[in-house]
Amino acid sequence: TPHDTAAAAGDPQDATAAEDARRAELKALAEQAGRDLEDASALEILKWAADTFGRRFCVTSSMEDAVVAHLASRAMPGVDVVFLDTGYHFEETIGTRDAVEAVMDVNVITLTPRQTVAEQDAEYGPRLHDRDPDLCCALRKVKPLEEGLARFDAWATGLRRDESPTRANTPVVGWDEKRQKVKISPIARWTQDDVDAYVTEHGVLTNPLLMDGYASVGCAPCTRRVLAGEDARAGRWAGRAKTECGLHG
Ligand code: SF4
C-alpha cells in the first residue's frame, strides 16, 4: 500500500526522489479511485479510504454536523477527526466538538493557529477578518490545517456538490494539488435531504445553530443566517468578495 513505500533513505536526494515517486503514486491512485468510486456509497468510499490509508487517513470537520465523522467511524472505529479551532467559533460549535468527542468512536484532534486572537490583534490590528479576511483565514485556517495534515496521506471532508456553484464539480476522490494529498468527499453526491435523512436515521449530532437559521456554520464574525431561497453558503463572508476560506478553493 502507498503508506508502506516511503523510503528510509539516508541520502536527502534519494529521500526527495522517493517522496516525489510516492506522491505521483498517490495522485494516480486518487484519480483512479475518483473514477471507480463515483457511484459508490459514502460508506463504501470511506471503507476504501480506511483500507487504503489506515491511520494515514483522517476526517476534517467544521462541527456543523457530525455526518462524515459518523460515517467514517463506521468504516474505521477510532478514526482521527481533525477540527480547526480558529478562536472565533460560536460556543455552539465548540459544544458540538465536545459532544462528538464524548459520544462517538472517534479521536478528535483540535488544531489551533500559532497566535491567539489577542496576539493576532496585537500584530495586525483588531478585526483583521473585516479588513483582510483572506489573510485572517490564511493565518487561522489554511496554515494550521496544512501543518495538522502533514502526517496524513488522505483526508475526508463534508463537501457537497449542491452546496454552491464553487463546489459543483467536487470529485468523490481527488488529488489536492495544493497540499499534495488525497482529498475524499464521500458525500459529494448527497443533497441536503440525504444529509437530513442520515442525521435522523442515525441520531447524528448537529450544531444547534442549524436549527436557528444558519445553513452553514463558520467563524462567528464571518457567518450570518441565510434568507429563504439563498444557497447554503450565502451566509459565509456575506457582502464580501469571498466564498471560500482557502481550505477548499
Ligand atoms: Fe478569520 Fe473569518 Fe476566516 Fe474565521 S472565517 S479565519 S474569522 S476571516
Q: Which helix (H) or strand (E) holds 81?
A: strand 79-84
Neighbour-count burial of 172, counting CB atoms closer than 10 A to its CB (0-12 exposed, 13-18 middle, 19+ buried): buried
CATH of residue 177's domain is 3.40.50.620
Looking at the domain assignment, is residue 200 inside a domain?
A: yes
Three-class SS state of 223: strand
State the total domains in the chain: 1
Would you give the distance in Å from CA 249 to the centre of its chain?
12
- Please list the residues that pair with 72 across neighbouring strands: none
Ligand 1, residues 115, 127, 145, 222: which to mutate, most atoms within 8 A of Cβ?
222
pLDDT of residue 3: 52
pLDDT of residue 212: 92
Ligand 1 atom closest to 140 (CA): 6
CA separation for the pair 115, 118 (Å, rounded): 8
Which one, of 232, 195, 238, lies nearest residue 215 by Cα? 232
Which one, of 235, 243, 212, 205, lies nearest residue 81 by Cα? 205
Q: Is 136 annotated as a binding residue?
A: yes
pLDDT of residue 42: 98
Looking at the domain assignment, is residue 37 inside a domain?
A: yes
Name the grid cell of 247.
Answer: 481550505
Ligand 1 centroid to Cα of residue 192, in Å, is 25
CA separation for the pair 216, 199 (Å, rounded): 16
Looking at the domain assignment, is residue 234 inside a domain?
A: no
Total Cβ atoms within 10 A of residue 195: 21
Query: C-alpha angle 238/243/249, rounded to 5°?
Result: 165
Ligand 1 atom closest to 220 (CA): 7
CA separation for the pair 124, 120 (Å, rounded): 6
Q: Active-site positions? A: 245
CA separation for the pair 23, 234 (Å, rounded): 35
Looking at the domain assignment, is residue 33 inside a domain?
A: yes
Pairing label, strands 57-60, 154-156: parallel
Q: Which ipTM was obtained for this model?
A: 0.99
pLDDT of residue 248: 78
Three-class SS state of 133: helix
- Structural domain including 184 reads 14-222
Ligand 1 atom closest to 133 (CA): 8
Question: pLDDT tens, position by position, for the chain (249 residues)?
Answer: 555 544 455 688 888 999 999 999 999 999 999 999 999 999 999 999 999 999 999 999 999 999 999 999 999 999 999 999 999 999 999 999 999 999 999 999 999 999 999 999 999 999 999 999 999 999 999 999 999 999 999 999 999 999 889 899 999 999 999 899 999 999 999 999 999 999 999 999 999 999 998 888 999 999 988 888 888 788 787 777 777 777 776
pLDDT of residue 34: 97
Looking at the domain assignment, is residue 179 inside a domain?
A: yes
Ligand 1, residues 84, 128, 129, 135: which to mutate, most atoms within 8 A of Cβ?
129
Q: Is 219 annotated as a binding residue?
A: yes
Nearest CA to ligand 1 atom 6: 137
Residue 188 DSSP label: T
- Model pTM? 0.90
pLDDT of residue 2: 52
Query: C-alpha angle 126/61/162, rounded to 5°?
Result: 100
Q: Is 58 annotated as a binding residue?
A: no
Looking at the domain assignment, is residue 185 inside a domain?
A: yes
Looking at the domain assignment, is residue 183 inside a domain?
A: yes
Ligand 1 environment, Cβ below 6 A:
86, 88, 129, 133, 136-137, 140-141, 218-219, 221-222, 245
Looking at the domain assignment, is residue 56 inside a domain?
A: yes
